Amino acid sequence: MLDYGLLERLCKADAPSGFEEEVREIVISEIKDYADEITVDNMGNVLVFKKGRATPKKKLLLSAHMDEVGFIVTDIKSDGTLKFASVGGINDTAVFAKQVKVGKNKISGVVNAKPIHLSSADERKKVPPMDSLCIDIGAKDRKDAENYISLGDMITFDSPFENKNGTIISKAIDDRFGCLVLIEMIKSDLPFDMYFGFVVQEEIGLRGAKAAAYTVNPDCAIVVEATTAADVPFAEDEKRVCLVGGGAVVSHMDRSTIYDKEYYKIAMSANTKTQTKTMIAGGNDAGAIHCSRNGVRTIAVSVPCRYIHSSSSLASVDDMESVLEVVRYTAEKILSE
């Protein structure tokens, strides 16, 4: 069974793209007594080799990304509020009135907008665009704010981690869950030698995975992820994409990858609940890994997650356990061929 206390530590860590240090420290502290080799490359990827009971003919890379979506400070206004830009894909609807943490000192703030009594009737009906918003940290003016904040500081959602009745609600399930699965694999007795990549900057263009795949030079890869579940009341049929409670998600294709057809069949044959995405949507580090060097046979196994890229993503513990089983099964089948 997965360590959900560790998942809480991973999710509560603040690590938007380019600021992955907190998660990297947790990962290394958890695996240092189990891994045979650990390397941190120039981008900040953690590359790991773990010996198994046998050395396979093929080199398998299991990959998960350490970063989360977030924001970055772009300006400090004369009144002490902060202008910001998104780091990764965040919908405007997920931002307004949210509590956030700013900078390494994790200064508390709230995302504000024009007060309702100053808004026109038309403005009240619309979601305020992100570029119209500011973050209020309670500073008196720019000089006061500069005592705590600098341009370029990271910003993350400030939200609790809840694990109740088989459901987890938290920020950053994408992809701290994938990191949790890789840590569990490294701590376990592996049937074959395997390579692992805890990679950076997925949310802004799969950048860490590109470097990691080039370095490891694998023959095959399994990307462990969280993916969008839209099984909500106002979505029907295929627009639901995948279902929370429906098991591990294995895709034929997304916007960055056409997955290996044989590996898809292997993953779907695992003795646990599995499902397929019903829309061609999203993407992940497989998009960079599968076309590295002379090509890498790749599959992605994901946990379905509602409200992804928000302050409060929702996923099922049963689905998480299914993902772990599918990843273990698929890795062993691939390497035993």
DSSP 8-state secondary structure symbol assigned to residue 17: T
Report the alpha-carbon distance of residue 60 to residue 312 in Å, rounded.
33
| 41's tokens | 């490359």
Number of residues written out for the chain: 337
Q: Is 57 strand, coil or helix?
A: coil
Q: Please say whether the beta carbons of 287 and 207 come within 8 A.
A: no
| 201's tokens | 């900057």
Report the alpha-carbon distance of residue 247 to residue 116 in Å, rounded.
43
| 176's tokens | 């701290």
Question: What are the φ/ψ torsions at residue 178 (nearest 5 degrees)?
Answer: -60, -40
Report the alpha-carbon distance of residue 76 to residue 74 in Å, rounded.
7
| 93's tokens | 């609807």
Q: Please say whether the beta carbons of 214 and 49 come within 8 A.
A: no
Of 157, 181, 183, nearest to 171 by C-alpha is: 157
Report the alpha-carbon distance of residue 197 to residue 203 in Å, rounded.
16
Of 214, 227, 291, 289, nearest to 254 by C-alpha is: 227
Report the alpha-carbon distance of residue 336 to residue 159 in Å, rounded.
43
Tell me the catalytic residues: 202
| 164's tokens | 């109740």
Q: Is 235 strand, coil or helix?
A: coil
Report the alpha-carbon distance of residue 105 to residue 136 in Å, rounded.
16
